[in-house]
Structure 1
Amino acid sequence: MGNARIAASGKREAGLAPDIIIELPDEGATCALAARLARLARSGDVFALAGDLGSGKTTLARAFIRSLTDPAAEVPSPTFTFCQAYDFDYGIIWHFDLYRMEKPEDAVELGIEQAFSEGISLIEWPERLGRWLPADCLTVALTDGQTPDARLARLSGGGGWSERLGGIAG
């Protein structure tokens, strides 16, 4: 899938898992990472998908959803609908795109509290949630890699993510 390394950060003292950085040489590697994350997901998990426009957030979300539902499923970007929900064998996946959300409080009207309590949530543009973003979420920050198709994924999170992510890159 790509090379991984543990990033040195002060997060150990703060009770957070150390960052894991994974090199993703192409879209296929991004999709493979999404499938690995989906296999680790549990009801109540929140995945904060961060990155600039075009960084691969929707690609990662689409692959995550398809790996738990149907590999050929239609998975549109929720940029204009704000939220799409997908049923799978063990519950619901909520896919939020908050790019156009004006203020964090608007997330309540979207049903984000319900999503957090009863399903798996994938959130693009998580910084727009402000205090509503759970502290124990897993952040997957995507940035440009060394080539036009390459990305770097930085995984960081609180809660039990350190143990759950063991071997994610391998």
Structure 2
Amino acid sequence: MATTFDLADEAATLALGGALAKILRAGDFVALHGDLGAGKTTLTRGLIQALLGEGEEVPSPTYTLVQVYEGPDFPLWHFDLYRLDDPDGVEELGWDDTVEGAALVEWPERAGRHLPKQRLDVLLEIQGDQRRVRLEPRGEGWQERLHGFSL
């Protein structure tokens, strides 16, 4: 069952990332969907900063395609697949290593067949001056963690 939130501003988007950080576990895969400027990187920044500290710089990995952070309990892999031409290219980025930690993936549809069936889909869309975010759990585990989830 999907959960939907309206986010008034960037601070609310960062706060949603922080709330997701509280339920993130090793082995998780979070797929961030949305147009350019929808807030994928902002949400990811909120999540990573909640785990590593607000002073942690979290640039978009648009050009590097992947950025790895050492979290307190497990590594965090932040992928931006916008510039990926071939889905099989994810293998060269350490895609299979993410099972040791958590993967946060912008433009996940570009991973093609490599996109895991068990994941949390986060769909962001711009609606006027705010954003609407829908969390859609896929597979086991996420549904239970999202029960009662709030900002």
TM-score using structure 1 length: 0.85
Aligned AA for 1:160?
G
Paired position in structure 2 for 1:121: 103
Q: Deviations over 1:109-153 (max 9, x none)?
A: 1011111x11111000000011111111100010012x32x1000
Secondary structure of the residue that 1:42 maps to in structure 2? coil
Larger Rg: 1
Does 1:169 find its partner at 2:150? yes
SS at match of 2:17: helix
Give SS of 2:22's match: helix
| Match for residue 152 of structure 1 among 132, 138, 142 | 132
Q: Which residue is equivalent to 2:44?
A: 61
Where 1:169 maps in the other structure, the secondary structure is coil
Uncovered stretches (5+) of structure 1, i.e. residues with no partner: 1-17
Greater shift, 58-67 or 160-169, is seen at: 160-169
> Does residue 125 of structure 2 align to residue 143 of structure 1?
yes
- Name the SS of the counterpart of 1:122 in structure 2: strand
Per the alignment, in what secondary structure is the counterpart of residue 40 of structure 1? coil
CA distance in 2, matches of 1:167, 1:157: 14
Name the counterpart of 1:13: none
- Spell out, residue by residue over 1:52-84, the C-alpha distance to the aligned partner (whole angstroms, 9 max, x if none): 000000001111111000211111110000000
The percent of aligned pairs where both chains have the same amino acid is 47
User: Unaligned regions of 5+ residues in structure 2, if any?
Assistant: none
> Please, what is the CA RMSD of the aligned residues?
1.0
TM-score (norm 2): 0.96
Post-superposition shift, 1:169? 2.3
1:38 equivalent to 2:18? Answer no
The offset of 1:27, in angstroms, is: 1.1
SS at match of 2:144: helix
Name the aligned partner's letter for residue 157 of structure 1.
P
